Amino acid sequence: MTQATPLEGQVAVVAGATRGLGRAIAVALGEAGATVYCSGRSVRGRPSDLGRSETIDETAEMVTARGGQGIAVRTDHTDEAQVRALFERISTEQMGRLDIAVNDVWGGDPLSDWERKFWEHDLGNGLKMQERSVWSHMITSYYAAPLLTARGRGLIVEITDGWNYRYRGNLYYSLAKISAIHLAQGMAEDLKPYGVTSVALTPGFLRSEAMLDHFGVTEETWRDAVSADPHFIMSETPYLAARGLAALAADPDLHALTGGVFTSWGLSDRYGIKDVDGRSPHWGNYAKEQGFYPEGDL
């Protein structure tokens, strides 16, 4: 193991690695030397119902190109049988080894109606959001935990939006994102005696593929979107949080941090992480300056 590859020899699974933060996390773990199982529903020739072009096959290839070993496994994480099969495969191929499990399954954007109160919102879509982003995380962790506890070490990461229990403007969305935090903290308590760490992680204003498409810009021209939303100036690529997570996973004092809720900008400060464009956007400081949150809430 070298300083450049602190996760060499480790095995990770990123559930929801098709695009966005999940893809970036898979790539960052690969850069650090890990073998990464990239799971999700979209593969070449068989996209998910979200209808986007990104696939887990591409993500796995990116992991390998960055120095890790990427393995794509099509998995619907709401289907227990498919999740069980994924972890059985990992156990067989890696001789029972698993070091890192990341829960980044989402798929809730097209299900969220921000203009309606919860009783006016489509109930089916609201419940499906919980299935995709809460149940799937629970199923995945259920099958990851035995591999991690058997080794007496490891890391489970819950990807969320926000760092506390504040209402996020849509009941179903808010419930899903807050649930991820509570899952991380609850699992931390159960896993603590086994040496396994559980944390939650949130990005700031994420400049994902979908967000770039929303504003009609590319990563090269993203600043053109600031005229439409001035807060976009403090946006970050998925790699800021992803690189922070890779550094966290390699921290020798990782287990002392179990139960924590981490932010991309906090990890950037902690480990000296830069975004891919060399910037260090700090959504926490910016939000405080803008008065977005109550005093003391950051």
Question: Model pTM?
Answer: 0.95
Which residues, in sequence order, are CB contacts of 42 under 8 Å at separation 6+? 18, 48, 50, 52, 54, 55, 56
Question: Is residue 273 assigned to a domain?
Answer: yes
Which residues constitute the domain of residue 88? 11-209+239-282
Question: Is residue 152 assigned to a domain?
Answer: yes
Question: Is residue 216 assigned to a domain?
Answer: no
Q: According to the 3-state scheme, what is the secondary structure of 174-235? A: HHHHHHHHHHHHHHHHHHHHHCCEEEEEECCCECCHHHHHHHCCCCCCHHHHHHCCHHHHHC
Question: Is residue 226 assigned to a domain?
Answer: no
Question: Is residue 288 assigned to a domain?
Answer: no
CATH number at residue 61: 3.40.50.720
Q: What pLDDT does residue 131 have? A: 97
Q: What pLDDT does residue 42 have? A: 82
Q: What pLDDT does residue 44 have? A: 78
Question: Is residue 218 assigned to a domain?
Answer: no
Of 173, 239, 271, 293, the active-site residue reads 173
Return averaged pLDDT per consecutive 10 residues of the chain, 298 residues in all. Answer: 80 97 98 98 77 89 98 97 98 98 94 96 98 97 98 98 94 98 98 98 95 94 96 97 98 98 98 96 93 66
Question: Is residue 5 assigned to a domain?
Answer: no
Question: Is residue 293 assigned to a domain?
Answer: no
**How many structural domains is the chain composed of?**
1
Whether 165 is catalytic is: no
